[in-house]
Amino acid sequence: MTAAPLRLLLVDDEAGFTEVLAKRLRRRGLTVTVALSGGEALAALAQAAFDAAVIDFKMADMDGITVLQHFKQQAPGLAVLMLTGHGSQEAVREGLEAGAADYLIKPCDIDELLAKITAAVDRTAAGRAAGDAGVCCNG
C-alpha cells in the first residue's frame, strides 16, 4: 500500500515563481494548492486539510508572519516553512519564533525544499503521536 501524497499549501504572491515551483513539486508527487495572497491562503486553509504549508515572508496583502500566526490558530498541527527572498537573520529569527518549522531562501533547491517539507511533516506527526500517547515534549 502506498502512502497518500503530501498535501501542500504554497503561498506566494509572485505568480510565475509559484506556478513553476508548484509544477516541480507536483512532479515529485505532492498535491499542491496555490494561494497568491495571504487572504487566499486563509480561505484555502478553511476549505481543506493540508499536511504542510510553505509561506513567502513578504507579500503585498499580508506578510508571511501574519499568515503563519493565523495558520497556527486555525491548524496548530500544520507544518509550516517560511520562504524568503530576503535572507536576513532577522527574518529567519522572526519566522522561527512565530512557529515556522524551518525556512528556505529563494531561489531554493527543489530537493532541499522537499527534504525540509518531509522532515517538518514527520516532526509534526511525531509530536502529535507523542501527545496522543500522553507524553509531553518541551524544548
In a domain, 25, yes or no: yes
Look at 13 and 128; give whichever has higher pLDDT.
13
- The predicted-structure confidence for 22-40, as pLDDT tens digits, reads as follows 999 999 999 999 999 999 9
In a domain, 32, yes or no: yes
Could you tell me the three cell numbers for 120?
A: 517538518
The pLDDT score that the predictor gives to residue 125 is: 76
In a domain, 97, yes or no: yes
In a domain, 123, yes or no: yes
CATH of the domain at 121: 3.40.50.2300
Predicted TM-score (pTM) of the model is 0.87
In a domain, 18, yes or no: yes
N- to C-terminal Cα separation, the chain = 35
In a domain, 113, yes or no: yes
Domain holding 92, by residue range, is 7-132
**Residue 72 CB neighbours (<10 A):** 15
In a domain, 138, yes or no: no
Domain count, the chain: 1
Q: Is the pLDDT of residue 131 over 70?
A: no
Q: Is the pLDDT of residue 128 over 70?
A: no
Dihedral over Cα of 129, 44, 17, 97: its sign: negative
- The predicted-structure confidence for 83-118, as pLDDT tens digits, reads as follows 988 767 888 888 899 999 999 988 889 999 999 999
In three-state secondary structure terms, 39 is: helix
In a domain, 64, yes or no: yes
Residues in contact with 31: Cβ distance below 8 Å, sequence separation at least 6, in sequence order: 5, 6, 7, 8
pLDDT (mean) for 64-71: 96
What is the average pLDDT score of the chain? Answer: 88
